[in-house]
């Protein structure tokens, strides 16, 4: 099964994925990866697209770089892992492009669908969207000492990202499961594990 995790800044995604991995890794073959990045060349694209020095990056360039990183990551890591492993867990995937570039940057969902048609032909079976109010999410990441190019966007941008996620979740209700990320980390992890247990 190919499972992706989505959410805005400070949604706790990374800790959640770590715990889900620890739980299933005892009995199953599990692979964890992330986007943008996840393989040597895709990580190089990540360094480029998230570098705060490149303030003037056009939104189209940004969207195309995420799609390019996705194509490389699929080829290097995800497609082989989907064939070989029981569970493939990925931190962010196509829905990040819908929410950030399609919705918040205003490029439109159709634009993202089109460019990703060239980049990928694998949709996840399940996507967990960890929904957190951006004011709470941004406060959670205040203590970080490094902010990438997208973290640095204003609160309104992150509110728009959330709106984007909620719209795609409505559009793909079978695939995308919205999880209330205001609960404790443990509650969120338990909920996700029990959903996955019931599907496996
Ligand atoms: P990352 O450091 O992985 O952040 P997080 O901990 O929030 O997942 O940074 C990834 C950033 O890239 C994040 O701000 C979301 C953004 N992104 C897009 O805008 N579009 C995409 O398609 C992907 C995969 C990520």
Residue-wise pLDDT for 104-146, tens only, equals 999 999 999 999 998 888 999 999 999 999 999 988 888 776 7
For the stretch 51-104, pLDDT in tens is 999 999 999 999 999 999 999 999 999 999 999 999 999 999 999 999 999 999
- The residue nearest atom 23 of ligand 1, judged by CA position, is 96
Query: Among 51, 16, 21, 19, which residue's Cα sits nearest to residue 36?
Result: 51
Ligand 1 pocket, CB under 6 A: 9, 13-14, 35-36, 50, 66, 91-92, 96-97, 100-101, 148, 150
Cis omega before residue 36 (within 30°)? yes
Confidence at 154, pLDDT banded by 50, 70, 90: confident
Q: Which atom of ligand 1 is nearest to the CA of 150?
A: 14
Report pTM.
0.95
Ligand 1 centroid, distance to 100 Cα (angstroms): 8
- Per the structure block, which two tokens stand in for 17? 């994925």
Per-residue pLDDT, averaged over 160-186, amounts to: 97
* Ligand 1 atom at shortest distance from the alpha carbon of 93: 24
């Amino acid at each position: 099964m190919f499972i992706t995790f989505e959410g805005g800044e400070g949604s706790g995604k990374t800790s959640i994925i770590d715990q889900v991995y620890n739980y299933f890794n005892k009995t199953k073959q599990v692979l964890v990866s992330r986007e943008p990045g996840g393989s040597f060349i895709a990580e190089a694209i990540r360094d480029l697209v998230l570098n705060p020095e490149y303030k003037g990056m056009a939104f189209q360039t940004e969207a195309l770089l995420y799609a390019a990183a996705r194509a490389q990551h699929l080829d290097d890591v995800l497609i082989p892992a989907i064939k070989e492993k029981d569970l493939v867990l990925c931190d962010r995937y196509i829905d990040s492009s819908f929410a950030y570039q399609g919705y918040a940057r205003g490029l439109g969902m159709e634009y993202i669908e089109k460019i990703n048609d060239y980049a990928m032909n694998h949709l996840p079976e399940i996507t967990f969207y960890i929904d957190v109010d951006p004011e709470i999410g941004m406060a959670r990441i205040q203590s970080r000492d490094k902010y990438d190019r997208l973290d640095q966007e204003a609160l309104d941008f992150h509110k728009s990202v959330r709106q984007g996620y909620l719209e795609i979740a409505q559009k793909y209700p079978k695939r995308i499961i919205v999880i209330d990320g205001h609960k404790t980390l443990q509650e969120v992890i338990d909920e996700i594990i029990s959903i996955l247990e019931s599907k496996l």
